[in-house]
Every structure is written in structure tokens, then in C-alpha cells.
Amino acid sequence: MSDEVSEKLSDAEEHKKAYDGIMGAATEVGVPAALALATFFTSIVMANGFLLSVIAGVVVYVFAHIIVKVFFSHH
């Protein structure tokens, strides 16, 4: 019985590490990247020019990354 309990605790720790890794990558990279791409393509469609669209995408990525790190990181 003791082996089952230790195995379940080990599995729970591995699942927690995997979950934290996935959520960290999704929030710290995925969300800002998705927002930046949406901003870039929206700006392109609005005929603002390529350079302005790239700059807007980069600014949104940096801003979103900062917001995610400040408000949504629990470390």
C-alpha cells in the first residue's frame, strides 16, 4: 500500500511540473504572441504599412508579456 501512495505522489508531482511548464509557456509566450500577430494582421488589413504593423506587433508583444509576468505569474 505504501508503494502505491508514493507512486501516486510521484505522479502528482510530475503532473504539476508538466502543468506549470505548459501554463508558463502558454501565458508568457503564447498569449503575447497571439495578441502581437492579431495586432500585426489587423494593422496590415487597415493599410497602415508593413513597418508600422511590425512596430505595433512588437510593442503589443512586449506590453502583453510585461502584463502577463506582473499579474499572472505566481512565482
Q: Which amino acid is at 41?
A: F
The pLDDT score that the predictor gives to residue 50 is: 95
CA distance 62 to 67: 9
Angle at 57 between CA 39 and CA 48, to 5 degrees: 70
- Looking at the chain, the whole-number percentage of residues with pLDDT higher than 70 is 89
Residue 7 grid cell: 507512486
Q: What tens digit of pLDDT does each residue of 6-30 get?
A: 777 777 788 888 888 888 888 888 8
Length of the chain: 75
Residue 51 grid cell: 513597418
